[in-house]
Amino acid sequence: MGTPRVFLLDDDPVIARIVEAAVAREGWLLTHAAKLAGALDAALAFAPDALIIDVQLPDGDGFSFCAACRAHPALSTVPALFLTGVNDVDSRLRAFSIGAQDYIPKPFAAEELLARLRAHLRLKAERDHLKGEKEAYLIRERLSRDMSDMIVHDLRAPLATVKATLSLILDEGLIENHDYQRLMKNAEFASDFAIMMVSDLLDLKEGRLRVNAEPTDVGDLLGRVRDCFSARFQMNGVALRLRPREEHLVATLDAAIIFRILVNLLENALKYGRSGGRVEFGAEASGSVVIFEVRDYGEGIPDSVKTKIFEKFFRTDTAKDGAAPGFGIGLAFCRLAAGELGGRIWVEDGVGGGSRFMLEIPRTRPITAKAKA
Ligand code: ADP
């Protein structure tokens, strides 16, 4: 703050002289108005850091001036001190109720007035500083959010190119060596997973998903998930078992979204539950719903975080054997997706240890109902 500026509204020339002299001793600037008419315009033009207001004025009262200042954005936070001979409780209470910061009865000591002004000016300077810091912080935060949104969005194209290139090399049989083929498959899987993470993040940002439900053979869907993961589990020494499934369990669902949910749950089962040595998954119909389950035999999840793990960016450092810790978006995506499918997802303790992630969705739902919405 530069040189403090004080605005005085008082019709008493003696008071005005005393205040003027006191303020001048401090090296502050002062502007003085003696009546209500035009006082607000004068205050606005002066842009004060503090207001000193008398209650009784020749053409009205100081309360209405204080209220007008409080209602004006440029003066609403400027400290207001009443300096007045009116000293009853009602007037004091009224002054504070319309937003005054202080009330000094006449006669007054100039030193006390200055001491109070100093305190209010310091508070205002601190408040202004904090406000400036907060605004700068919010601007920085918005910029960095916009930037990361842009990066996430733009990542999809190069990742898709990497994935397409790897798939082409594999599909065309351009590599004959089995070890290299396996490495390429790993890289292909990693690029798939990165694309999925980008999609999860973008969907989470949108806060909704486009659902395309159609009659689907759930057994086939689970089989495709197993084919996708079996090599990966094998490599990590974890047995992946698709539980015996109901024959011809058909449900009206969005297979791509269920696939993405299961990929997230199985990745986690591998990452956090591998100490258990095996992971099982499957699905069964129960009344009007289908329940998918991914079961690991790892260390399990403490009750205190069983719901928190579905929050965006919540994560712990329990990944095993140096596996990269995640970003806390997988389960947040699963919860969003479960909701968009008209269902729910939760986790339970498995009997004998480990976790059971359960996804329950309606067995039938109007085809593409949400997509049309
Ligand atoms: P990420 O795995 O990227 O950290 P997620 O949203 O997939 O994010 O998971 C959030 C957190 O939930 C993980 O950090 C982990 O602490 C916990 N978690 C998820 N799945 C399991 C599991 N199968 N066993 C133990 N903890 C798990």
pLDDT tens digits, one per residue of 327-363: 788 999 999 999 999 999 999 999 989 999 999 999 9
User: Across all residues in the chain, what is the average pLDDT?
Assistant: 90
Q: What is the pLDDT of residue 112?
A: 94
Closest C-alpha residue for ligand 1 atom 11: 315
pLDDT of residue 371: 43
Structure tokens at 274: 């591998």
Residues, the chain, total?
A: 373
Among left, alpha and beta (phi > 0; psi -120 to 50; other), residue 27 is left
Q: Confidence class of residue 273 from pLDDT cuts 50, 70 and 90? A: confident
* 202 CB burial (10 A radius; 0-12, 13-18, 19+): middle
Q: Which two tokens stand for residue 96?
A: 């504070």
* pLDDT above 90 coverage of the chain, percent: 65
Give ligand 1 pocket residues (Cβ under 6 A): 264, 268-269, 272-273, 296, 298, 301, 309, 314-316, 318, 326-332, 355
Owner of token pair 């500026």:
5
Q: Name the residue with the closest Cα to ligand 1, atom 3.
A: 326
Q: How far apart are the C-alpha atoms of 318 and 354, rounded to whole Å?
A: 13
Distance 267 CA to ligand 1 centre (A): 9
CA dist 365 and 343 (Å) reads 11
E strand segments, 131-189? none
Residue 36: is its pLDDT beyond 80? yes
Residue 155 CA, ligand 1 centroid: distance in Å? 24
From 55, 27, 60, 33, select the one nearest 45 (Cα to Cα). 33
Between residues 1 and 259, which one has the greater pLDDT? 259
pLDDT of residue 212: 87
Pocket test residue of 309, 316, 346 for ligand 1, highest count of atoms within 8 A of CB: 309
Say how far apart CA 289 and CA 117 lie, in whole Å: 70
Distance CA 204, CA 141 (A): 18
pLDDT for position 338: 95
CA of 315 to the centre of ligand 1 (A): 6
User: What does the pLDDT read at residue 65?
Assistant: 97
Instruction: Supply the residue whose CA is at minimum distance from atom 13 of ligand 1.
Output: 315
CA–centroid distance, residue 313 to ligand 1 (Å): 10
Q: Is 181 exposed, middle or buried (0-12, 13-18, 19+ CB in 10 A)?
A: middle
DSSP state of 165: H
Query: What's the gap in Å between 161 CA and the centre of ligand 1?
Result: 29
